[in-house]
Chains A and B, each alone.
Chain A
Amino acid sequence: AQKITQTQPGMFVQEKEAVTLDCTYDTSDPSYGLFWYKQPSSGEMIFLIYQGSYDQQNATEGRYSLNFQKARKSANLVISASQLGDSAMYFCAMREGVKNAGNMLTFGGGTRLMVKP
């Protein structure tokens, strides 16, 4: 069964507008961490934001925020004021056992975001 699901293979957004990229997850572990990465055409994986399952507040990092709805098991990424440079693949990932850094990340299928000028 899929542990991380990203239902939007591709998204368009107008420059300067906000966009939400969806991510749902499945785990029975009460302790987990959720990650978002950006992958431009160069292939490098750029860490954007992290949310721990016990974190009380939604994570924010500059123009990125994570809409964490624990009961729904969703962790949507919100990008505000989109820029042309935001065009890339975006991956949601999960680590089960949040403080066990030895656990690997499981990735969703990704969403390709295209920002229109």
Chain B
Amino acid sequence: GAVVSQHPSWVICKSGTSVKIECRSLDFQATTMFWYRQFPKQSLMLMATSNEGSKATYEQGVEKDKFLINHASLTLSTLTVTSAHPEDSSFYICSPPPSGREYYEQFFGPGTRLTVL
């Protein structure tokens, strides 16, 4: 299956700081990347979709200025949580659409656990 990596796997930061999460597709090129957020004991909710060469699209209720998404290349998408607050503590997971492969192969990165103190 597709290999997707995320860095860091976990991060603890102070309130008010910014945190960048990287998502890399290691064996294929991704023109799009889905970013999901999972609060403790809850399900995955789509936050935004990054697009190579154009602006990201955000789901309703997700602050664009707070969650900066950049699709830097065909193998790298980043999510930056700016001025993080404790309520941003969550599990962030990226997922590339199965472009060019079996359309049901929806894989996920290993996730980044963010804790804001």
Write the chain A residue with the least CB distance to B101.
A101
Q: Are A45 and B108 in contact (CB under 8 A)?
A: yes
Can you name 20 A-B pairs with beta carbons within 8 Å? A33-B104, A35-B104, A42-B110, A43-B93, A43-B110, A43-B113, A44-B111, A45-B44, A45-B95, A45-B108, A47-B107, A95-B106, A104-B34, A104-B46, A105-B34, A105-B44, A105-B95, A109-B43, A110-B42, A110-B43
Q: Give residues in A with beta carbon < 8 Å to B.
A: 33, 35, 37, 42-45, 47, 50, 52, 91, 95, 98-99, 101-110
Considering residues A42, A44, A102, A106, which has the most beta carbons from chain B within 10 angstroms of its beta carbon?
A: A102
Considering residues A101, A102, A103, A107, which has the most beta carbons from chain B within 10 angstroms of its beta carbon?
A: A101
Q: Return chain A residues, CB-CB under 8 Å to B8.
A: none
Q: Which of B32, B43, B97, B106 contacts A47 (CB 8 A)?
A: B106
Q: Return chain A residues, CB-CB under 8 Å to B97.
A: 101-104
Q: Are B111 and A101 in contact (CB under 8 A)?
A: no
Complex-state Cα separation, A35 to B32, whole angstroms: 20
Complex-state Cα separation, A47 to B101, whole angstroms: 15
Q: How far is the CB of B64 from chain A (nearest CB, A)?
A: 17
Write the chain B residue with the least CB distance to A92.
B43
Considering residues A35, A95, A104, which has the most beta carbons from chain B within 10 angstroms of its beta carbon?
A: A104
Main secondary structure of the interface of A (DSSP, over half): loop
Write the chain A residue with the least CB distance to B112.
A43
Q: Are A50 and B104 in contact (CB under 8 A)?
A: yes
Q: Are B32 and A102 in contact (CB under 8 A)?
A: yes
Q: Return chain B residues, CB-CB under 8 Å to A91.
A: 43-44
Q: How far is the CB of A53 from chain B (nearest CB, A)?
A: 12
Complex-state Cα separation, A44 to B95, whole angstroms: 11
Contacts A43-B111, A104-B49, A109-B43 given: A52-B91 contact, CB under 8 Å?
Answer: no
B61 within 8 A of A: no
Q: Are B106 and A44 in contact (CB under 8 A)?
A: no
Q: Return chain B residues, CB-CB under 8 Å to A101.
A: 97-99, 103
B105 within 8 A of A: yes
Contacts A104-B46, A107-B43 given: A47-B99 contact, CB under 8 Å?
Answer: no
Complex-state Cα separation, A43 to B108, whole angstroms: 10
